[in-house]
Structure formats: structure tokens, C-alpha cells
Amino acid sequence: MAREIPKTVVVGTAVTVVVLLALYLLTKLPSGGETAKVQSAGSRLSSGQVSFTGGDKCATCHQRVTPDIVYQYATSTMAKSGVKCEDCHIVNKNNSMGHDHEGFFITSEPTPKQCGKCHVRETDEFEHSRHAGPAWMALTGFDDFSPEQQKLTESIPELTRGPNGIPTATRNAIFDMEGPNVTPAACQSCHAIGKPNKDGSIGNCNKCHLRHEFSLAQVRKPEVCGQCHLGPDHPQEEIYKESAHGVMYATEGQNWNWNQKAGRLTTRDMPAPTCATCHMSGFGGQGTTHEVGTRLTKFLFAAISTDRPNGEQNRRAMQGICANCHSQPFIKKVYQRADSVTSFVNVKVKEASDIIAGLIKDKVITSKPFATQISYDAFDLWHYYGRTAKFAAYMQGPDYVQWHGVYPLLRQLNKVKEDAARLRAEHRSGAKR
Ligand code: HEC
Ligand code: HEC
Ligand code: HEC
Ligand code: HEC
Ligand code: HEC
Ligand code: HEC
Ligand code: HEC
Ligand code: HEC
């Protein structure tokens, strides 16, 4: 009869083996979480789980140096179509953004000039949108533009122009007031979407098409736009979250067909729209556009909103998108409601700006912007509350029309009126003294 091994010995040995194995594995594991991530990307690549068909010299070396970049890029549609690292990064010797690197002349910041070699239409549309030159003009006027870049920007139909037809482009008072200690981490970071580049091109596709996946699924989601379109002066992301559309996205979006080819999207792929669907996507027969102004009726960002040069045509384009999912009478009603909010806001903003203009004319306050408290208050009135109410009326955010919009606007108007009366009284008694 075989001798029985006592149970305690079996369990004891097993425990010892497990503990020793665990200790051994621990010494083999890389230290920081960061290293672990990089190694796993590298091993996914070398194990052949992901293959990069580019096969160029950059990728071969960078598989060791920056494996995550190579891995991310390998998963993109572009890598699968044979576009290589060098197609975006290698530039001509006369390109002032280039530098020598491992025997190549490269740029570490590919601009629309590189993308435009292959994506001619998208680049042309982007350059003629307010996402390009006008976004940077909003900070420094034309100060940073070459004559060619200025000429291109002046040709944009969606540009706001003064009464003489000349594009409105002055340096922004807040930009200069805050200065270079602040603006690189603030205004410039968002508005760099349209910064003029040293190679002659304008802007940065990469602000939306995050490197190196350049994923359509990603750029169609509202979080991408929400990098910049949020906060008290342009709360589009917050408004969208409040709308029925945003709720559909948040609750069912994980089942939508995000990777449908551009131009082929329909309600079957997404039963409710995201920012991209309404403003950019080809949807239900209408083509994709990077000219984000072509579906907008009014200049809503302005203190007092007027119609755009092609407003009527643009309105039909946007309503054509809605019509994939809503009836014409329904769409008309939504627009009528929103137009009437816009008119209401216009009247109140005009009232406040007339009060300020009167104070300046009568030398009660200086014309220098942001030199007096009432100048800040009048700015918040339209820049925060007026804009918010208008955006929310078109994009279905009732709380933003009401409690973040019209109500604080009325409160602010009252404050401006009372303060103006007080300032005038002080001014009169000061003059008598
Ligand atoms: C022999 C190896 C090798 C080759 C070949 C190589 N690189 Fe690099 N690259 C490096 C190393 C090393 C770094 C520095 C990485 C770091 O500091 O984290 C680097 C950094 C970079 C950077 C960022 C910093 C900078 O200098 O701008 C870019 C962009 C870049 N490489 C692109 C490329 C491209 C595009 C190619 C092909 C045309 C290429 N590399 C070929 C090794 C290489
Ligand atoms: C479709 C164009 C495109 C391709 C292809 C491409 N890149 Fe890039 N790359 C970019 C853009 C855009 C940036 C970011 C520029 C910026 O910051 O404005 C970038 C940045 C980089 C950087 C600097 C990143 C950092 O954070 O320091 C490195 C390194 C780099 N790329 C390497 C590669 C390598 C290696 C490949 C091939 C596997 C590759 N790129 C393929 C467009 C591309
Ligand atoms: C050498 C040519 C070339 C260059 C340079 C290039 N692309 Fe592409 N791009 C392509 C090709 C080819 C495709 C794949 C088209 C397809 O399969 O529908 C593509 C596809 C795309 C897509 C769609 C991805 C998808 O999933 O359908 C985006 C977005 C994109 N490119 C952005 C960029 C950006 C941004 C740059 C510059 C930083 C750039 N490309 C530079 C050739 C290029
Ligand atoms: C979070 C990103 C972000 C920051 C930071 C930011 N902006 Fe903007 N800005 C935007 C967006 C998005 C719009 C577009 C609003 C719209 O069209 O509804 C805009 C619109 C504007 C406009 C109106 C459009 C025009 O061309 O006249 C001006 C002016 C402006 N910004 C100036 C500034 C200045 C100056 C700063 C810094 C003091 C700044 N912005 C900081 C994102 C930003
Ligand atoms: C404001 C964000 C944004 C910027 C900036 C942007 N894109 Fe796009 N792009 C999108 C969106 C959203 C889509 C998806 C459209 C759709 O759903 O059909 C897209 C789609 C594309 C596609 C694939 C669809 C097509 O039209 O073939 C290409 C290629 C592309 N973009 C290239 C570029 C290039 C090149 C630039 C810079 C010159 C650029 N994009 C700048 C948001 C942007
Ligand atoms: C990196 C910041 C940034 C990102 C990301 C961004 N935008 Fe913008 N957007 C701006 C700025 C800045 C302006 C204002 C430009 C101006 O009028 O001066 C603007 C303006 C607009 C306008 C008004 C254009 C006009 O003609 O008045 C629309 C519509 C818009 N963006 C939609 C989008 C959508 C949709 C996305 C996402 C796919 C997006 N944006 C992503 C910064 C951004
Ligand atoms: C249901 C469609 C729809 C969705 C979804 C949507 N928008 Fe809009 N958006 C509109 C309409 C309609 C207007 C008003 C256009 C007009 O008549 O001028 C507008 C106005 C804007 C403006 C103001 C442009 C100006 O004149 O100042 C910006 C910026 C903008 N949207 C960005 C976004 C962003 C970012 C998102 C996602 C967070 C988004 N939109 C989601 C339909 C939509
Ligand atoms: C891809 C389809 C789709 C598109 C495009 C679309 N919507 Fe919607 N919309 C929906 C769905 C789905 C709902 C949720 C239906 C519900 O409230 O029961 C909705 C809800 C709404 C509501 C709220 C209805 C309510 O009873 O509260 C309004 C208002 C609205 N949409 C307006 C618009 C406007 C204006 C546009 C164009 C600028 C537009 N939609 C574009 C699908 C769409």
C-alpha cells in the first residue's frame, strides 16, 4: 500500500511554490506603470499582433525609441493604406520648420502643408474656415501673418467685416492685458487651431485629429470639440450634454457605428447627432465639410448677432441635416424659437452698450477697455450670458437659455444701469467741487 503524503505537506509545498513564483515574477516586472505600458505596446508590435506595413527606417528604429507612437500609428487607417512616417515628417531642406535627425531632414510638428499633399480638399476647406486664420486673428489681429497668409484669410467668406467691408482685426485687449506669462497656456492653446505656421501654412489639423491614430471614431465624438468649446463664454459641450441628442449619445453611443466611411454616415449609424454630425459630417446625402461656417445662419459669437453673408443658404444646409430625423414643421419651430431668443438678447445687449457708449462720450469713464468695473460688467453681459442664451436656444439647452443665460443677463443689465447712474452722479458732484 502506497504511503499517504499528509495533507498539510501538500498544502505547505503548494503555498511555498506560489509565493516563490510570485516573488520571482515581481523581480521580472518593470518598475513604473509607464514602463509597463511602453513595453506592452512594444511586445504587441513584435509579437505580430499589430503590423506596421510602412516598413520605413523611421518606424524600424522608433519601434525601440517610442514604441507607443509606432503602435498607435500602426492601428490607423493611414498606416494600413501604406502612408509612412516620412510622408508627414520629412520636409524640404528650405523648410524653416525642419531640422537634421539621424540622417534625415524632418519636422517634429507636421503642419497642414504636409497633410495637404494628399488631403487637398479638406485642407483647402479648413484654411477657408474660421477655425484657421480668424481664430488667431482673434488674439493678435494680422500681426503674426505673412502677406500671403493675410491675403488667404481675407478671402474667407465667413469673415466678420466692418462697415467699410474691411475684415475686423485688431489686437485683443485681454490678450495684451494678460500678456506672455499667461496667454501661451490660455488663449493661445485653443486658438492655435488657426495659428499661422512658419512654412506658410495656417493652423493645426492635429488639434482635432489627435496623433497618431487619426481616428474617425474619435474625431466624431463631442469630447474632441469640448477641448475648446466649453466654459461660460461658449458652453457648447455643456449645452449638448443637456440636450436630448447628448443624452442619446451618453446612454447609447457605445453601440453606434463610429467607423462608417466619411460621407456614408446615416441615421442607421447614429440615431442622434454629435457636434460633428450637425457641423461637419457628410450625413444622409450631404457632403463632409471642414468649412464649419457653411451651416451657420448668424454670427452668434458677436455681441449683437447679424446674418452671415450666405446665411439663408447655410440655414438650408443645417436644416437639411436635421431633416434626416425630424419633420420640416418641427425644425421650423425650433429655429423660430431660437431666432426670437436671439432678437431679445440683441435688444438687451444694445441697451447696455448704449449706456457704456454714453458714459464714454460724456467722459464719465475712460474709453480704455477693462479700466473700470462697469466695463467688465458690460463685457460679461454679452460675452457670457448673451452668447450662452443664444447658443443654447439653437442647440437645445433650456437651462442654459434660462438660468445661465437670460436671467443673469437681466440681472447684469440692472447692475450696469444702477452703476451708470451712480457714476454719473459722482461725476456731476466731482465737477461741482
Ligand atoms: C536610428 C534611430 C532613429 C531613426 C532612424 C529615426 N529616429 Fe527619430 N528619434 C530617435 C531618437 C533616439 C529620438 C529621441 C527620443 C527621445 O528623446 O525620447 C528621436 C526623436 C524623434 C522625434 C522627436 C524629437 C525631434 O528631434 O524632433 C521625431 C519627430 C522623430 N524622431 C521622427 C523621426 C522620423 C520621421 C524618422 C524617419 C525619417 C526618424 N525619426 C528616424 C531615433 C531615430
Ligand atoms: C499623418 C501624419 C503623420 C504620420 C504618418 C506620422 N506622424 Fe508623427 N506626428 C504627426 C503630428 C501631426 C505630430 C504632432 C505635431 C504637433 O505637436 O503639432 C507628430 C509628432 C511626432 C513626434 C513627436 C511627439 C512628441 O510628443 O514629442 C514623434 C516622435 C513622431 N511624430 C514620430 C512618428 C513616427 C515614428 C511615425 C511613424 C510610425 C510617425 N510619427 C508618423 C504626424 C504624423
Ligand atoms: C502621403 C499621403 C498622406 C498624407 C501626407 C496624409 N494622409 Fe491622411 N490619409 C491618406 C490616405 C491614403 C488615407 C486613407 C484613405 C481611405 O482609406 O479612405 C488617409 C486617411 C486619413 C483620415 C481618415 C482616417 C479614417 O479612419 O478613415 C484622416 C482623419 C487623415 N488621413 C488625416 C490626415 C492628417 C491630419 C494628415 C497630416 C498631419 C494626413 N492625414 C496626412 C494619405 C495621407
Ligand atoms: C478653452 C479654449 C479657449 C480659450 C482658453 C480662449 N478661447 Fe477664445 N474662443 C474659443 C472658442 C471655442 C471660440 C468660438 C466661440 C463661437 O464661435 O461660438 C472663441 C472665440 C473667441 C473670440 C470671438 C471670435 C472672433 O474671431 O472674434 C475672440 C475675440 C476670442 N475667442 C478671444 C480670446 C482671447 C483673447 C482669449 C484669451 C484671453 C481666448 N479667446 C481664450 C476658445 C478659447
Ligand atoms: C475642428 C476639428 C477638425 C479639424 C481642425 C480638422 N478636421 Fe478633419 N475631420 C473632422 C471631423 C469631425 C471629421 C469626420 C467627418 C465625418 O464624420 O464625416 C474629419 C474628417 C477628416 C478626413 C476624412 C474624411 C474625408 O473628408 O475624407 C480627413 C482626410 C481629414 N479630416 C483631414 C483633415 C486635415 C488635413 C485637416 C487640417 C488641414 C483637418 N482634417 C482638420 C474634424 C476636424
Ligand atoms: C483647439 C480648439 C478647438 C477645437 C478642438 C475645436 N474648435 Fe471649433 N472653434 C475654435 C475657435 C478658437 C473658434 C473661433 C474662431 C473664430 O471665430 O475666431 C471655433 C469656432 C467654431 C465654430 C464657428 C465657426 C464660425 O464660422 O463662426 C464652429 C461651428 C465650431 N468651431 C465647431 C467645432 C466642432 C464641431 C469641433 C469638433 C469636431 C470643434 N469646433 C473643435 C476652437 C476649436
Ligand atoms: C442638432 C445639431 C447640433 C449639434 C448636435 C450641435 N450643434 Fe452647434 N449649432 C447648431 C445650430 C443649429 C447652431 C446655430 C447656427 C446658426 O443659425 O447660426 C449652432 C451653433 C454653434 C456654434 C456657434 C457659432 C457662432 O456663430 O458663434 C458653435 C461654436 C457650435 N454650434 C459648436 C458646437 C459644438 C462644439 C457642439 C458639440 C458639443 C455642437 N455645436 C453641437 C447645431 C448643432
Ligand atoms: C441623426 C438624427 C438627428 C438629427 C440629425 C437631429 N436630431 Fe434632433 N433629435 C433626434 C432624436 C433621436 C431626439 C430624441 C427624441 C425625443 O426627444 O424623443 C431628438 C430630439 C430633438 C429635440 C428635443 C425634442 C423634445 O421633444 O424635447 C429638438 C428640439 C431637436 N431634436 C432639434 C433638432 C435640430 C434643430 C436639428 C438640426 C439642427 C436636429 N435636431 C438634428 C435625432 C436627430
pLDDT digits 0-9 by tens, 48-87 = 444 554 557 899 899 889 999 999 999 899 998 889 999 9
Find, among 409, 401, 407, 402, the residue nearest to 384 by Cα: 409
7-12 long-range contacts (CB < 8 A, ≥24 apart) are none
Ligand number with the minimum distance to the CA of 73: 2
In whole angstroms, give the CA distance from residue 292 to residue 295: 7
Residue 224: predicted pLDDT? 98
Question: Is the peptide bond prior to 212 cis by the omega test (within 30 degrees of 0)?
Answer: yes
Q: Best substitution site from 111, 288, 292 to test ligand 5's pocket, by max atoms within 8 Å of Cβ?
A: 288
Q: How far is the CA of 300 from the centre of ligand 4 (A)?
A: 13
Show the ligand 6 pocket: residues with CB < 6 angstroms: 130-131, 134-135, 138, 158, 190-191, 193, 207-208, 224-225, 227-229, 275-276, 279-280, 292-293, 296
Nearest CA to ligand 3 atom 30: 214
Does any ligand 3 atom lie closer than 6 A to the CB of residue 254?
Answer: no
In whole angstroms, give the CA distance from residue 315 to residue 309: 11
The C-alpha cell that represents 111 in the structure block: 503642419
Ligand number with the minimum distance to the CA of 80: 3
Give, for all 433 residues of the chain, the pLDDT tens digit.
Answer: 444 544 544 444 444 444 444 444 433 333 333 333 444 544 555 544 445 545 578 998 998 899 999 999 998 999 988 899 999 999 999 999 999 999 999 999 999 999 999 999 999 999 999 999 999 999 999 999 999 999 999 999 899 888 888 888 889 999 999 999 999 999 999 999 999 999 999 999 999 999 999 999 999 999 999 999 999 999 999 999 999 999 999 999 999 999 999 999 999 999 999 999 999 999 988 999 999 999 999 999 999 999 999 999 999 999 999 999 999 999 999 999 999 999 999 999 999 999 999 999 999 999 999 999 999 999 999 999 999 999 999 999 999 999 999 999 999 999 999 999 999 999 999 877 6
Residue 52: predicted pLDDT? 56
Those residues whose C-beta lies under 8 Å from the C-beta of residue 23, and which sit 6 or more positions away, are none
Residue 142 in contact with residue 169, Cβ under 8 Å? yes
In whole angstroms, give the CA distance from residue 248 to residue 3: 69
Does any ligand 7 atom lie closer than 6 A to the CB of residue 158?
Answer: no
Q: Best substitution site from 153, 193, 234 to test ligand 4's pocket, by max atoms within 8 Å of Cβ?
A: 234
Ligand number with the minimum distance to the CA of 109: 2
The C-alpha cell that represents 411 in the structure block: 440681472
Does any ligand 8 atom lie closer than 6 A to the CB of residue 313?
Answer: no
Ligand number with the minimum distance to the CA of 69: 2
Does any ligand 1 atom lie closer than 6 A to the CB of residue 212?
Answer: no
Q: Best substitution site from 126, 129, 130, 131 to test ligand 6's pocket, by max atoms within 8 Å of Cβ?
A: 131
Residue 166: predicted pLDDT? 83
Q: How far is the CA of 224 from the centre of ligand 3 (A)?
A: 18
Residue 393 in contact with residue 401, Cβ under 8 Å? yes
Nearest CA to ligand 8 atom 43: 272
Q: How far is the CA of 106 from the centre of ligand 1 (A)?
A: 9
Q: What is the dihedral of CA 353, 356, 361, 363, to 10 degrees?
A: -170
Residue 433: predicted pLDDT? 65
Ligand number with the minimum distance to the CA of 234: 4
pLDDT tens column, 74-131: 989 999 888 999 999 999 999 999 999 999 999 999 999 999 999 999 999 999 999 9
Residue 5: predicted pLDDT? 47
Cα Rg, the chain, nearest whole Å: 28
Q: How far is the CA of 220 from the centre of ligand 6 (A)?
A: 14
Longest CA–CA span in the chain (Å) reads 123
Residue 162: predicted pLDDT? 84
| Surface-to-core class of residue 262, CB atoms within 10 Å of its CB (0-12 exposed, 13-18 middle, 19+ buried) | middle
Atom of ligand 1 nearest to the CA of 108: 29
Does any ligand 8 atom lie closer than 6 A to the CB of residue 401?
Answer: no
Ligand number with the minimum distance to the CA of 55: 2
In whole angstroms, give the CA distance from residue 193 to residue 195: 6
Residue 229 in contact with residue 388, Cβ under 8 Å? no
Which residue has cell 460679461? 380
Residue 252: predicted pLDDT? 98
Q: Best substitution site from 56, 57, 62 to test ligand 1's pocket, by max atoms within 8 Å of Cβ?
A: 62
